[in-house]
Amino acid sequence: MTVGTFAREHLAVDVLAAARLLLGCLVVADRPDGQVVVRLVELEAYRGSDDPAAHSYRGRTDRNAVMFGPPGYLYVYFVYGLHFCANISCLPHGKPGAVLLRGAEVISDLDIARLARPTARSDADLARGPARLATLLGLQREHNGLDLTDPTSPVRLLPGDPVPAQRVRTGPRVGVAAAQDRAWRFWVDGSPAVSAYRRHPNQARRQSDRK
């Protein structure tokens, strides 16, 4: 693709503004079997300074260093000993924050995308959910710290068509154990690639105990 990469300075903003801004943007990944391009349709914001659900809440470590900036870098981590998830760092350098890539629509060659995700039950399922999206893009531990604004990077963030305000929805983040009620998830209404909302088991248990 010949479109210029996303401007880093546009991500030097609060996580909520960054998540809204990233809706509709494109992520391009150069995989061994071909290029995959997705349009972001679901995102979650995490701000380390006052967000107990964020990896950076308790301070900087080797694992979460990318969240502390500069903005526009890929933060990849392994969860549950099973799969990888991917985030984009935001906020000015030194302030921890990132936006989780939760769901996307494939806008490139679907045959190549299906090679990357052969177990997908439908085209909408190719990148629905953070683990599936990371798998589709071929993201592994070695991709942690990639500069998404670098036009020579194997994974790049590109501007896309803005999502109209009337199509943007917000709600609680999916499956977090802390700060469950914050409406820090953003998604494009009507997109089949948006994941279903699931409460964290601890949250569901507490609500059941109150009845």
pLDDT tens sequence across 94-105: 999 999 999 999
Assign 59 a pLDDT band (cuts: 50, 70, 90).
confident
Is pLDDT of 206 > 60?
no
- Global pTM reads 0.91
- The residue type at 153: S
Of 71-80, 109-118, 202-211, give the range with the top mean pLDDT.
109-118
pLDDT of amino acid 60: 85
Residue 203: is its pLDDT beyond 50? Answer: no
Q: Categorize the per-residue pLDDT at 3 as very low, low, confident or very high, splitting at 50, 70 and 90.
A: low
Mean residue pLDDT across the chain? 89
pLDDT value of position 92:
94
Confirm or reject CATH 3.30.2270.10 for domain 8-210, answering yes or no: no
Predicted local distance difference test score (pLDDT) of residue 1: 45
pLDDT over 50 (residue 153): yes
> Does pLDDT of 14 surpass 50?
yes
Between 16-25, 78-87, 196-205, the lowest mean confidence (pLDDT) is in: 196-205
pLDDT at 207 over 60: no
- Does 48 have pLDDT greater than 90? no
pLDDT at 130 over 80: yes
The whole-number average pLDDT for the span 94-119 is: 96
| 3-class SS letters over the chain | CCCCCCCHHHHCCCHHHHHHHHCCCEEEEEECCEEEEEEEEEEEEEECCCCCCCCCCCCCCCCCHHHHCCCCEEEEEEECCCEEEEEEECCCCCCCEEEEEEEEEECCCHHHHHHHCCCCCCHHHCCECHHHHHHHHCCCHHHCCCECCCCCCCEEEECCCCCCHHHEEEECCCCCCCCCCCCCEEEECCCCCCCCCCCCHHHHHHHHHHC
Q: Which of 147 and 3 is assigned the larger pLDDT?
A: 147
Q: Average pLDDT, stretch 8-28?
A: 97
Domain positions in the chain: 8-210
Look at residue 67 in the predicted model and tell me its pLDDT. Answer: 92
Q: Which pLDDT band holds residue 183 (cuts at 50, 70, 90)?
A: very high
pLDDT of 79: 80
